[in-house]
Amino acid sequence: MKQDPTFVIIDVRRPDEYAGGHIPGAINIDSTHLSEHLESLDPDGTYLLCCQRGGGRSAGAREVMEKAGFREVYDVKGGMSAWQAAGLPVTGGV
């Protein structure tokens, strides 16, 4: 990931959820506002989407991005819940 400058982690949760802890380097774009930000994202980039439990929000955001022509869009299986349970790094929060 670090060697690919086009790799972007997008946390699609609400700002208050993001503030409670997120993947280091992730940007926060609430899934309800994602379509408003698509023009600022590179459709040739690689994206990893994360929500709370890896279900509805990241899957819906992935569909929106794919329909808009983004080719490499993935989501964190199990979301932040699984990320934290695996002991992976988290920044922000208490």
For 28, the 3-state DSSP assignment is strand
The pair of three-digit structure tokens given for residue 77, joined into one six-digit string: 């299986």
Q: Is 51 a catalytic residue?
A: yes
Of 47, 43, 56, 50, the closest CA to residue 91 belongs to 50
> How many whole angstroms from its chain centre is CA 73?
9
- The catalytic position among 29, 49, 50, 51 is 51
- What stretches of 30-78 show up as alpha helix (H) in DSSP? 34-37, 56-67
Question: What are the catalytic residues?
Answer: 51
